[in-house]
Chain A
Amino acid sequence: MTDRRTTIKWMLSVAASMPLLRERAWGQEVTAWPAVRGYGGDPDLTKLYRPGDVWPLTLSPAQRRTATALCNVVLPDDGRSPAAASVGVVDFIDEWVSAPYPRQIKDRPIVLEGLAWMDAEALLRFEKYFAELDESQQHAICDDICYEPKAAPKFVRAAAFFARYRDLSVGAYYSTPTGWKDIGYIGNVPLTKFEGPPADLLQKLGLGPQDPPKGT
């Protein structure tokens, strides 16, 4: 196994300039991906599924390390709710990019190349992998790519990846019980009555039952 220092040196030597390294990151071969089947048209809907149950996960340990660091930057522990990786967001990303469906197959190179780009960029700027950077260093990179409409031309492609990665992370995070609690979803419980919004809230918003429309 190549030690990390050697890898960094190799990456820096094969890519003497930043633009070239960026190109290599985008153009790199994605990990060979096994031909797998999906869950079919009649899966058991009452079973509990975990990522990897239906098709194998395919991210390498290094890719998972970068994915973990990045989703925790996107959705960190803010004292009110935990960081993304602690609710299975990385497992979800791995499941997503490993899935045998068109939308996911389309996302796979975007995510894999994007994760590689994050490391390449981290190495170029700070000579460390993205996961090893401190928060301000991670933010320095993310600030350049967090909003595609305002990204510099050389960061546009990375920004497109970041937007996709943020969407995947947000969806994965807020579809968990932890995410529900944080965002304020308190449904999915049986009720004997459904009362609708409280009267004082309606009043505050100037809303409420209206006169019926005029009949013919």
Chain B
Amino acid sequence: MTAPAAKKQYDVIVVGSGAAGGQTAYTLSMEGVKVLMLEAGRNYVPEQETPMFQTPDQAPLRGASTPEKDFGFYDATIDGGWTVPGEPYVQSTSDPHGRFAWWRSRMLGGRTNHWGRISLRNGPYDFKPRTRDGLGMDWPISYEDVAPYYDKVERLIGVYGTSEGLENTPNSSPGCLLPPPAPLISDYLVQQRARRLGIPIVPGHRAVLTQQLDFKRSPALLHPGNPKAQKIIAAHMQQRAACIWATDCGRGCSIRANYQSTTVHLPPALATGNLDIVCNAMVSHVVLGKNGLAKGVKYVDKTSGAERQVSARVIVLAASACETARILLNSKSASFPNGLANSSGKVGRYIMDTVGADLSGQIPLLESLPPQNEDGASGHAFYAPWWGYQDQQKGKLGFARGYHIEFGGGRRMPGAGTLHGIERFTGGSYGKKLKEDARRYYGSFVGFAGRGEMIPNENSYCEIDPVVKDKWGIPVLRFHWKWSEHETRQAAHMQKTFADIVQAMGGCVMGKVQSDGAEAIAPGGFIIHEVGGAIMGADRRTSVTNEWCQTWDVKNLFLTDGAVFVSNADKNPTLTIMALAWRSADHIAGRMRRKEL
């Protein structure tokens, strides 16, 4: 993983090492393609660096979050968060509703090291939203095109859950899913009471190994006719341990029991001998050859500050939606004065995040329960898939797209913020009474978070700022953001729904139930599900890539991350990113074999 390794000739350069880059490099290297991966951050070794059992009292500030560790001290993110020193981005307005917050991390494996591991499939409606309600745009592919790749990804990374046959909430093929973990008491209570309101509560889907992967059967299904790949992945599946029901997945996992690119995609890809990785390689732009093909990429070697160029037959950008758009927009040439592969003018357009709103409640039924270990699979044993498709079809809800509910309660590991604000229940107790109250109230809170679909719009996009550059001299992004009423009304609906559930549980809502959706909705970028910026489509005049993530303008340039998303369903995007990356990488490998690339 050093710079000299980058001197070889490669078939494909993959920029980025997260869900998209990891999957792309995995698929290609298993197919015998020589791959060079460039990662802007440092090397990261989860087996050695993960704070598995470290406790808050061993951390600065009891592990509380700070701007240097936005999700708390033990969060796996390295050199990242909503701000990265020396790597600014710019807002187009000071209006707080018009801003976008961009989470990045600078480490091998990217954001897969800390993500929530929630792995939901898009459903059939989600690929054809315009056909269904006249808004947004349709994808050039349908659920059926992606379904086999969802199966493959689930088998490879390990996803627990069940197939419930609910509307637009697809079943997995038999054998793809691992059994769901046991729910907590609070999960059962939410399930019982929410169902009285007509809200389905079913097992969640997360990339956590509730048991060892099926290393006997899956390899042949993942890599048919490829004994070398089968052998490698069978060995790696056996090296991954099942969950030990402790420590937050956000810290990463040294025993490889959940999915992160660094423990699941990259080790077997490296074992093929077909993958080289160069870290601390901050890509600035794609170099266009005289023949109109992408020749290679330029990057800054962050350890020396030197600019380097590497070349390959095919270039894949998988740098995360906005970073991929940034690289394209910064790749200017005589033939592409507005950025590479941007003849449509759509690069940077249609950035979408997820609609988010949350509310929590204090539940007397859960007070003073006997202590028990409720670490479980660290959340999301159950969730509520969207239940309002029919009401929306009838125009009853005032917003066009759905949301799912994530929730969690129980006796979680107490940290710096535990029982903060307890006075609102205790009337300000202190002393021995406060200690009694702490025992009574700990574990009696349940939090609800809505995660909903945002419809792409013309006012949410990024472009290159004409002035500001990062510390590597690379021009930075400027963001524009606007929610439509479809999103703000949905956020208000979330608030009311959560309050109704808390009430149905006999509980007391914490804080204000926000009826103004514009106030209830989390700012753009806060849910960290940003996609779009180089959408795929069936028409080269209105999209950046075709259905294979291949740019219309430059045939050996592919974008395999969330940039190509045409819609951003309520389903968390990572599983779909991986499914599309696998599909694209299969396509690339096939065309390389046929000498078409």
Contact = CB atoms under 8 A, between A and B. Distances in A.
Contact of B188 (A41, A148, A188, A207): A207
B432 A76 contact: yes
A35 to B, nearest CB: 16
Contact of A187 (B81, B85, B411): B411
Contacts of A39: 60, 68-69, 73
Interface string B63-75: 1101111000110
Interface in B388-438: 411-423, 427-432, 434-435, 438
Interface string B248-287: 0001000000000000000000000000000000000000
Interface stretch (B51-59, B307-315, B457-465): B51-59
A46 B372 contact: no
A167 B421 contact: yes
Interface in A141-165: 142, 146-148, 150, 162-163
Interface string B232-256: 0000000000011111000100000
A99 B184 CA distance: 37
A126 interface: no
Interface stretch (B31-39, B159-167, B347-355, B511-519): B159-167
A173 to B, nearest CB: 8
Contacts, number: 244
Q: Which of A49, A99, A101, A196 has the most CB of B within 10 A?
A: A196
Contacts of B57: 87-88, 175-177
A167 B442 CA distance: 14
B507 interface: no
A48 B270 CA distance: 33
Nearest to A183: B442
Contact of B418 (A38, A146, A171, A216): A171
Interface stretch (B137-145, B334-342, B363-371, B446-454): B363-371
B567 interface: no
Interface residues of B, number: 88
Interface string A1-26: 00000000000000000000000000
Interface in B342-390: 365, 369-377
Question: How many A residues touch the partner, as a band?
Answer: 35 or more
A96 interface: yes
A82 to B, nearest CB: 11
Nearest to B191: A210
A86 to B, nearest CB: 13
Contact of B185 (A41, A51, A54, A201): A201
A195 B48 CA distance: 29
B60 A53 contact: yes
A172 B63 CA distance: 10
Nearest to B373: A187
Contacts of B573: none
B434 A96 contact: no
Nearest to B56: A175
B7 interface: no
Interface in B145-202: 164-167, 181-185, 188-189, 191-192, 195, 200-202
B74 A184 contact: no
Given A146-B429, A167-B420, A170-B418, A45 B50 contact: yes
A174 B372 contact: no
A26 B51 CA distance: 41
Residue of B59, B195, B201, B415 with most partner-chain A CB within 10 A: B59
Given A186-B411, A209-B188, 16 more contacts: A41-B84, A45-B74, A46-B50, A46-B51, A73-B430, A73-B431, A74-B430, A146-B428, A166-B430, A166-B434, A170-B418, A171-B62, A175-B57, A188-B247, A206-B192, A213-B195
9 contacts: A102-B67, A146-B429, A166-B423, A170-B420, A174-B438, A175-B63, A213-B195, A213-B201, A215-B166
Nearest 10 pairs of A and B residues by beta carbon? A147-B428, A196-B182, A215-B165, A184-B371, A187-B375, A190-B244, A175-B56, A194-B245, A41-B79, A45-B51
